[in-house]
Copies of this chain bind each other. A is one copy, B any other.
């Protein structure tokens, strides 16, 4: 998909990690003019080679652009690159549309939207699901919160990155959907880990059991992805568990603040905590199986 160069839009892309880099590249290859900023210069270098403009600050990236795209990991990073000194809000002109792809809390998303609105900058939250593979393929699921006009303005850009673009509601709603996505996904991974642990402890063949259960009601995207990894004991990421741990901290924080009863989330947050203590945060979330095994050992 290539844009008419006569109307080529300019995008500032901030955050060129595992997810951000392939997303930014899709936009560049589709004809968007690209201004990139990354904290680590080495991640920006390939974009200089491509022909994108590499700049020294988010503020510089955001100068005279149509869109400011943000894909950094933590809430504090999102706030810093948008609202901090040298942040994009300093450089961006009124009417610029800021698209935050990062997974942060809905509350943080609303706060940031209000802060950039003071400079006349529009905002949508657009967290994604599908991991690095979907980012590379341009097949992310994108959950959008914001006003419909802003989404329509962003849609041609989003369509280069994802197949399923769903408008969930006002600003923050994308993050609410993403939180739900993470709850369902990681609780499912915990269940798969317990099934694999149960199978092995009972002398079952994990591969055959996976083959037997995948066509039934146990079937899921996570079973397809995580089941074989657990069966092979290949705990390399995949999806880095530290990201799920971060997301579960966000969910727990919101749930605790408002007194929402989420017992499985509480349990999985605890399991992810043990995973982090063990130093497996950069491994795959299938490592939740190893957490069960070390707990088993400590009970014995």
Q: What CA separation (Å) do A198 and B250 show in the bound complex?
A: 12
Binary CB contact string for chain A from 170 to 191 against chain B (1 if under 8 A, 0 otherwise):
0001101101111111111011
Binary CB contact string for chain A from 209 to 221 against chain B (1 if under 8 A, 0 otherwise):
1011101111111
Q: Please, how many residues of chain A have a CB less than 8 angstroms from a CB on the other chain?
A: 76
> Contact: A219 with B217, CB < 8 Å?
no
Question: From DSSP, what is the main secondary structure of chain A's interface residues?
Answer: helix
Shortest distance from the beta carbon of A16 to any chain B beta carbon, whole Å: 22
Known: A190-B187, A213-B177, A217-B129. A166 touches B261 (CB 8 A): no
Chain B residues near A184: list those with CB within 8 A: 188, 191-192, 195, 213, 218, 220, 223
Known: A130-B216, A259-B299. A264 touches B191 (CB 8 A): yes
> Contact: A212 with B177, CB < 8 Å?
yes
Known: A212-B166, A265-B194. A260 touches B201 (CB 8 A): yes
Partner of A168, one of B179, B205, B217, B260: B205
Query: Which residues of chain A in 256-270 are interfacial with respect to chain B, using CB atoms and an 8 Å cutoff?
Result: 258-265, 267-268
Chain B residues near A194: list those with CB within 8 A: 183, 187, 262-265
Chain B residues near A183: list those with CB within 8 A: 191, 194-195, 198
Other A-B pairs, 7, CB within 8 Å; known A181-B213, A191-B264, A198-B254 = A141-B213, A177-B212, A181-B195, A184-B220, A187-B191, A188-B191, A219-B221
